[in-house]
């Protein structure tokens, strides 16, 4: 084939498209590639779309094959098609290698005259002089290089460079996903003994083997999993009911008498109702159901099919209707899933719970004893989902969404490696045996640690460090007691609020808090007042903010809604009557005014209750140190309360400007950052000056390396997940305070968190505690 056959004429290449049309074409290319069924189709759409839009004579895409240390020409137009898939370049070879090395665009007037030019006669690129190559980068990883070429001996315009760079950045995610799917298909076809490995972030430690169960979200149509049905008529009935329910909603909206509704609005809602009741949509879905698919996946495919028909239309108005189809489809899907879930979902033994954005509520919905592991498409090890998973001692993987469509994992046999943040799909027997060995090592370590159960958390030089547990559900209590918890250092009262559809009454809260306090009496129990906001939302009390972590949350909501706050405080004080083991902790304190106002309300509630019951007493009050402002005012806060409690999760987040739920910046989150250590030193010093104990209740307290530094800092007590209690007790019983202080001194001389962690891990290994930091090893 002659590559000149499809080459644009030189005058066409020079003319170009207007900026507006280029932007529209950019969006169209991104959209088309996102819907491509496989990698080859995606790359073909890219080169054809770029060539037509930029009106260049050649366009090609080289992808990195790191396993074999070269780049492969995967798609091209304007070059010899026979070399596609076969032409390979070393990682530093040619102009493609130059773009890859520089990781920025290379724009040349005369490519053959450049020192890095590598002539490849069979490629068909001899006539070209102008060269523009841009790297394809996804989350810092180089996926490949995108190239356009022209016969004219001149550089490409800056607008062309900007267009190609923009397109490469927007397509990187789609290319990464297509690569992941391609790797899955290839590896599965090659051998069943070498299962696919998917990488994410380590959320909660441990090894789990089980069956994937996807929790569906109507907001992500593409994530609805494929499932079979053996009762198509019941599925069709669910679909019909969902359609009628949604269409009736649109009818009601069209008939409302609101003054703000225009005739155009009413006509739009009537049109939406007609689309929802469309016979084409219903018949396409029922055909798929009768072919053996459950209703949600049948509706998914029908909606996507219809929306793509509109997206392919040339008319802009009709093309925009594709969004309407998708929006209506999401409403239908939400109702259909509600219909489907009226029956209890099937959770097999050893269920691996999977979802794009799982919540703590999803974990608690799994029947007792059936939850083996968790895979979430988003979030990090510091999200409340991961925190709850650690509390339940369930391995968890976070932020897997960039690597695979999670719906593909539904019903599959999986291994979850919570230490490495990896998922193994349909593992062969050799790999299963290896992970069974690791599970045995875990079991042996647990048995060895059990010997510490009745021993105090005391250093060899006699320093007692009480170990408390973090909890949020009644189911946590017995587990915590069985692990030897000396009390509850943090009870997250918001979790019971999150599993309801309305605020609990004072009596309901009283009954709950009484159970918690009685279970641990006389050991102390620290109840934190309601701390919603951020990633802890109440469906019945929505808070919509652009930046929720810097917004209306914690004590701020309580003070703006004293009726909610006082109801909870009254329930806590009543529950403590006759027991006396309540500590009350106030979250998100950033101003002394907020603390003063909260104390006034607590005193008021206490005095009112004391008039009715002599057993009511004022509990010990504590303030959470979790924002930088509280660090700098630790002295002022300490004068007002009985104790300080450092929440390292939020404190680290705010000090380092790292969203702890954002997987893109997870590598910047580290409680051993020198700034965090210096903040902890400042808080501990303030506590000593005022004779007020300082505790740490964040997830860092369960990290052996961090716990070692906290011992050196003179922190009075630690509160951590129940599964970490005996591990941290081992650390405390191994190191003297003097040894820990010496390690703290070494840490303060280091400038990087990674260096500090390496130094502390060496100390743990040298002391014989290597099993805590190298899971799966017996020494």
- Euclidean distance between the first and the last CA atom of the chain, given in angstroms as a whole number: 64
- 774 DSSP 8-state letter: S
Q: How far apart are CA 672 and CA 78, in angstroms?
A: 53
Q: Which residue has the tokens 């469509």?
A: 405
Nearest residue to 367 via CA among 213, 512, 515, 516: 213
> Phi/psi zone of residue 639: left (φ > 0), alpha (ψ -120 to 50 degrees), beta?
alpha
User: In 3-state terms, what secondary structure has residue 75?
Assistant: strand
Q: How far apart are CA 688 and CA 702, in angstroms?
A: 23
Which of 59, 238, 645, 697 is the catalytic position?
A: 697
Distances (CA, A) of 333 to 218, 286, 339: 5, 15, 10
Cβ atoms of residues 654 and 677 within 8 Å: no
Cβ atoms of residues 223 and 362 within 8 Å: no
Pairing state between β 467-471 and 717-720: parallel
Q: Please report which residue ranges of 35-148 form alpha helices under DSSP H.
A: 39-54, 94-102
Which of 293, 378, 384, 479 is the catalytic position?
A: 384
Q: Burial of 544 by CB count in 10 Å (0-12 exposed, 13-18 middle, 19+ buried)?
A: exposed
Q: How far apart are CA 644 and CA 654, in angstroms?
A: 18
Q: Please report which residue ranges of 16-110 form alpha helices under DSSP H.
A: 19-34, 39-54, 94-102
Q: Please report which residue ranges of 93-157 form alpha helices under DSSP H.
A: 94-102
- 323 DSSP 8-state letter: H
Q: Is 293 assigned a catalytic role?
A: no
Residues 6+ positions from 571 with CB-CB distance below 8 Å: 506, 507, 509, 510, 512, 513
Nearest residue to 671 via CA among 756, 748, 553: 756
Cβ atoms of residues 201 and 397 within 8 Å: yes
Nearest residue to 353 via CA among 385, 382, 383: 385
What are the beta bridge partners of residue 646? Answer: 625, 696
Our measurement of the distance from residue 661's CA atom to the centroid of its chain's CA atoms, rounded to an integer in Å, reads 6
CA atoms within 13 A on the CB side of 751: 0
Q: Where are the beta strands (DSSP E) in 356-506?
A: 371-376, 396-398, 413-417, 422-425, 467-471, 488-492
CA atoms within 13 A on the CB side of 757: 12
Q: Is 384 assigned a catalytic role?
A: yes
Q: Which residue has the tokens 């190239």?
A: 147
Nearest residue to 473 via CA among 365, 374, 592, 605: 365
Catalytic site positions: 384, 697
């Amino acid at each position: 084939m002659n590559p000149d056959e499809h080459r644009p004429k030189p005058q066409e290449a020079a003319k170009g498209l207007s900026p507006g049309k280029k932007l529209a074409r950019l969006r169209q290319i991104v959209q088309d590639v996102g819907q491509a069924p496989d990698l080859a189709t995606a790359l073909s759409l890219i080169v054809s779309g770029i060539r037509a839009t930029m009106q260049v004579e050649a366009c090609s895409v080289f992808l990195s094959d790191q396993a074999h240390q070269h780049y492969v020409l995967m798609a091209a137009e304007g070059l010899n098609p026979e070399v596609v898939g076969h032409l390979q370049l070393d990682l530093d070879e040619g102009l493609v290698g130059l773009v890859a090395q520089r990781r920025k665009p290379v724009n040349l007037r005369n490519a053959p005259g450049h020192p890095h030019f590598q002539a490849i006669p069979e490629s068909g690129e001899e006539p070209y002089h102008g060269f523009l190559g841009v790297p394809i980068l996804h989350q810092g990883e180089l996926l490949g290089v995108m190239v356009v070429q022209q016969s004219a001996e001149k550089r490409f315009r800056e607008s062309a460079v900007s267009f190609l760079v923009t397109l490469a950045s927007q397509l990187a995610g789609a290319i990464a996903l297509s690569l992941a799917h391609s790797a899955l298909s290839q590896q599965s076809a090659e051998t069943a003994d070498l299962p696919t490995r998917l990488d994410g972030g380590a959320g909660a430690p441990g090894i789990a083997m089980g069956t994937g169960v996807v929790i569906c979200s109507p907001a992500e149509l593409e994530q609805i999993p494929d499932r079979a049905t053996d009762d198509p008529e019941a599925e069709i009935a669910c679909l019909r009911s969902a359609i009628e329910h949604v269409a009736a909603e649109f009818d009601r909206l069209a008939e409302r008498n609101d003054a703000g509704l225009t005739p155009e609005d009413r006509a739009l809602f009537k049109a939406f109702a007609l689309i929802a009741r469309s016979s084409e949509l219903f018949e396409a879905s029922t055909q798929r159901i009768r072919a053996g698919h459950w209703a949600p996946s049948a509706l998914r495919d029908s909606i996507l099919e219809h929306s793509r028909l509109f997206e392919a239309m040339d008319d802009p108005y009709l093309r925009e209707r594709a969004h309407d189809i998708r929006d209506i489809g999401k409403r239908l899907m939400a109702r259909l899933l509600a219909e489907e879930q009226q029956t209890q979902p099937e959770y097999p033994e050893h269920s691996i719970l999977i979802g794009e954005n799982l919540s703590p509520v999803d974990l608690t919905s799994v029947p007792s004893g059936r939850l083996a592991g968790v895979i979430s498409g988003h979030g990090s090890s510091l999200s409340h989902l991961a925190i709850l998973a650690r509390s339940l001692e369930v391995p968890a993987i976070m932020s897997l969404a960039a690597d695979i469509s999670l719906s593909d994992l539904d019903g599959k046999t999986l291994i979850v490696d919570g230490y490495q943040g990896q998922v193994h799909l349909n593992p062969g027997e050799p790999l299963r045996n290896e992970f069974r060995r690791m599970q045995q090592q875990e079991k042996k370590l647990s048995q060895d640690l059990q010997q510490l159960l009745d021993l105090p958390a005391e250093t060899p030089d006699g320093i007692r460090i009480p170990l408390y547990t973090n909890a949020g559900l009644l189911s946590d209590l017995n587990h915590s007691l069985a692990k030897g918890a000396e009390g509850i250092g943090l009870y997250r009262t918001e979790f019971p609020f999150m599993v309801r559809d309305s605020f609990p009454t004072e009596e309901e809260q009283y009954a709950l808090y009484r159970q918690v306090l009685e279970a641990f009496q006389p050991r102390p129990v620290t109840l934190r007042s309601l701390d919603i906001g951020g990633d802890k939302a109440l469906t019945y009390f929505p808070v919509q903010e652009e930046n929720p972590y810097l917004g209306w949350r914690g004590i701020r909501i309580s003070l703006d809604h004293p009726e909610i706050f006082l109801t909870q405080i009254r329930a806590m004080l009543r529950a403590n009557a006759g027991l006396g083991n309540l500590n009350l902790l106030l979250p998100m304190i950033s101003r002394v005014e907020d603390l003063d106002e909260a104390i006034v309300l607590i005193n008021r509630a206490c005095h009112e209750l004391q008039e009715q019951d002599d057993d009511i007493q004022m509990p010990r009050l504590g303030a959470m140190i979790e924002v930088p402002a509280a660090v700098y005012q630790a002295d002022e806060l300490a004068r007002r309360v009985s104790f300080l409690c450092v929440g390292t999760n939020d404190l680290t987040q705010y000090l380092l400007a790292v969203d702890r739920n954002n997987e893109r910046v997870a590598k910047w989150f580290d409680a051993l950052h020198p700034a965090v250590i210096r903040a902890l030193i400042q808080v501990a010093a303030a506590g000593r000056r005022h004779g007020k104990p300082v505790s740490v209740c964040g997830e860092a307290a369960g990290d052996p390396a961090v716990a070692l530094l906290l011992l050196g800092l003179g922190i009075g007590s630690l509160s951590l997940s129940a599964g970490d209690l005996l591990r941290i007790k081992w650390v405390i019983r191994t190191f003297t305070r003097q040894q820990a202080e010496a390690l703290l001194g070494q840490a303060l001389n280091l400038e990087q968190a990674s260096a500090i962690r390496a130094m502390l891990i060496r100390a743990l290994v040298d002391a014989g505690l290597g099993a805590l930091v190298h899971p799966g090893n017996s020494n």
